[in-house]
Amino acid sequence: MTLPDADLPSADEPLDDSDFGLLDEIRDMFAAADPMPAELPDRIRFLLAVRDLEIEVARLTAEQDELVAARGTEQSRTITFDSTTLTIMIRIDANKDGTVRVDGWLAPAQRREIEMKCGADPLSVISDEQGRFAFPRVPRGTAQLVVRPTGPEETGRSVVTPALIF
């Protein structure tokens, strides 16, 4: 027995509750089979924020070629990033309040704006003439550093690091 065409919904009709229910079931099925990585939204936001910038990407030095993380019992870690124009070295120390302190140095030494893209609110500082900078309290999670010239009269390209996980 075949149903008359009048009983079948048309492709031009708006979605109804049964359509939304089916879409919810499909979403739940994919979420269970292949869940989205927790840090994916932060990485996407970061990439969208810097996609149109003229930037130079710093790479981890050869001895640090795995994803950067500062978790567990480790209390302090030093990480070095290199690009063609700038070397960025940071030290990460755990704070008692659950945040981390990030101290950094730029080589060659210079004043630059340093932005820590993390969570909803990015943090920003200016390095001193010796290239030193510090972020006293950085929330745990995914973060990235962007190093920019301090003003329009300054020359040089922005440099961005790979993702850090604190």
The DSSP-derived string for 8-20 is SPPTTSPP-HHHH
Give dist(CA 94, CA 116) in Å, integer: 16
pLDDT at 137: 94
How would you class 126 by CB atoms within 10 Å of its CB: exposed for 0-12, middle for 13-18, buried for 19 or more?
exposed
Q: What is the pLDDT along the chain (166 residues), one digit of tens a residue?
A: 555 555 667 777 888 888 889 989 998 998 889 888 888 888 777 776 666 555 677 777 754 444 444 444 556 789 999 998 899 999 999 999 999 999 999 999 999 999 999 877 899 999 999 999 999 999 988 899 999 988 766 677 889 998 888 8
Tokens 């939304």 correspond to what residue? 20
